[in-house]
């Protein structure tokens, strides 16, 4: 493993060098919040901002995406699947919780017999430059769900902000390839590494939540009919913000839209928090109230997904806690479940 140092002033040039070979997506200042967007120049990237409001999911699994075009040809219907045949991609400045979110997304879209082509086309060509989280927010709880502010899961190169410089930890062959030909780096010294280690320890200490997660999945298995579900959903207005912002919510709908030349098949985000998500053509809805919908989201993250894939479907990024308009707090739900 190679560990280098780059002066912060050199980072725009480093990104420019990457842009010569990759499409680069980095956090940019989108007004009131940061957003991961494609950048045409390293000077557009802003690594000093807090974690973007939307996770990296929106790049690889966009909110709306054409997955098929259908038109009438001379010999009947012709179909075309849009594909990404351009350069490889780099997601730059991804926080460890969101990099882990992509690892979990891979399990959903790419394990088992069926591989989701629109997602895999993009994911297969994407490298991740992570950015360690020196200052976790009060709503972050990554360490409680198996992550860490300096976590490396799913990351090819990890940047650590040392103040005037970044420590660059090259973790994979993809990381090696990205850094090839980049100038202005020096080898990290023992002192640099000790500083990074100290920051990692401080970030872990700064995490304010220590959730009781041990045995949560097993406990939930016997709680489908528990009276707890009658009350934990009461504040929820079913807006779906928690799911849309969550790096580990992947429900989608598919619709066909008529165009001047035929039909476009479009995939768009959906959520189990919407009333119509499970509404059947007959009018029957197996999840008719917020109770069933909140139970579903909680069960999926902490019971069904772990049962299927052996890991919780939550990275502790805290977005659902921060952005919920009625202050529904998933950490409080977990505590209530564990206290039953």
Contact positions vs ligand SF4 (CB under 6 A): 236-242, 245-248, 273, 301, 314-320, 324-326, 328, 330
- Provide, rounded to whole angstroms, the least separation between the CB of residue 288 and ligand SF4: 16
Closest to ligand SF4 by CB, 204 or 329: 329
Closest CA to 136 of 31, 210, 29, 195: 210
Q: What Rg, from alpha-carbon coordinates, does the chain have? A: 22
Closest to ligand SF4 by CB, 196 or 246: 246
d(CA 113, CA 116): 10
Q: How many residues does the structure list for the chain?
A: 340
- Provide, rounded to whole angstroms, the least separation between the CB of residue 139 and ligand SF4: 8
Closest to ligand SF4 by CB, 66 or 103: 103
- Provide, rounded to whole angstroms, the least separation between the CB of residue 272 and ligand SF4: 9
**CA angle, 13 then 16 then 22, to 5°:** 145
- Provide, rounded to whole angstroms, the least separation between the CB of residue 319 and ligand SF4: 4
- Provide, rounded to whole angstroms, the least separation between the CB of residue 190 and ligand SF4: 36
Please say whether the beta carbons of 101 and 315 come within 8 A.
yes
- Can you list the positions of beta strands (E) in the chain? 2-7, 22-29, 34-38, 64-73, 76-80, 88-94, 126-131, 157-161, 165-170, 185-187, 252-258, 262-269
* Residue corresponding to tokens 């990205």: 178
- Provide, rounded to whole angstroms, the least separation between the CB of residue 53 and ligand SF4: 11
- Provide, rounded to whole angstroms, the least separation between the CB of residue 247 and ligand SF4: 5
Closest to ligand SF4 by CB, 25 or 141: 141
Closest to ligand SF4 by CB, 41 or 275: 275
- Provide, rounded to whole angstroms, the least separation between the CB of residue 119 and ligand SF4: 18
d(CA 240, CA 132): 29
Closest to ligand SF4 by CB, 5 or 91: 91
CA atoms within 13 A on the CB side of 319: 26
Closest to ligand SF4 by CB, 212 or 325: 325
d(CA 269, CA 65): 9
Closest to ligand SF4 by CB, 217 or 273: 273
d(CA 241, CA 319): 9
d(CA 159, CA 178): 13
Give residues with Cβ within 8 angstroms of 46, minimum separation 6: 26, 27, 28, 29, 34
């Amino acid at each position: 493993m190679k560990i280098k140092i780059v002066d912060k002033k050199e980072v725009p040039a480093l990104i420019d060098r990457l842009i010569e070979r990759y499409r680069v997506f980095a956090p940019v200042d989108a007004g009131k919040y940061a957003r991961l967007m494609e950048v045409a120049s390293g000077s557009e990237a802003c690594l000093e901002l807090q974690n973007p409001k939307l996770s990296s999911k929106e790049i690889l699994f966009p909110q709306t995406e054409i997955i098929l075009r259908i038109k009438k040809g001379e010999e009947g219907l012709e179909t075309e699947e849009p594909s990404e045949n351009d350069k490889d991609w780099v997601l730059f400045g991804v926080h460890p919780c969101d990099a882990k979110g992509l690892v979990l997304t891979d399990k959903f879209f790419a394990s088992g017999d069926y591989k989701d082509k629109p997602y895999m086309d993009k994911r297969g060509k994407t490298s991740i430059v992570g950015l360690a989280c020196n200052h976790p927010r009060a709503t972050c709880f990554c360490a409680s769900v198996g992550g860490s502010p300096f976590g490396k899961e799913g990351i090819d190169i990890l940047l650590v902000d040392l103040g005037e410089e970044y420590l660059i930890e090259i973790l994979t062959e993809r990381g090696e390839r990205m850094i090839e030909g980049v100038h202005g780096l020096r080898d990290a010294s023992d002192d640099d590494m000790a500083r990074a280690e100290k920051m990692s320890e401080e970030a872990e200490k700064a995490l304010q939540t220590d959730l009781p997660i041990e045995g949560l999945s097993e406990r939930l298995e016997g709680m489908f009919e528990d009276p707890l579900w009658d009350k934990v959903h009461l504040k929820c207005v079913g807006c779906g913000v928690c799911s849309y912002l969550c790096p580990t919510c992947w429900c989608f709908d598919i619709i066909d839209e008529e165009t001047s030349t035929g039909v476009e098949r479009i995939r768009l985000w959906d959520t189990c928090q919407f009333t119509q998500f499970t509404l059947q053509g007959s009018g029957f809805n197996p999840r008719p109230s917020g109770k069933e919908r909140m139970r579903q989201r909680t069960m999926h993250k902490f019971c069904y997904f772990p049962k299927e894939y052996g890991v919780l479907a939550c990275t502790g990024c805290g977005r659902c806690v921060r952005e919920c308009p009625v202050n529904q707090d998933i950490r409080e739900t977990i505590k209530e479940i564990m206290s039953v």
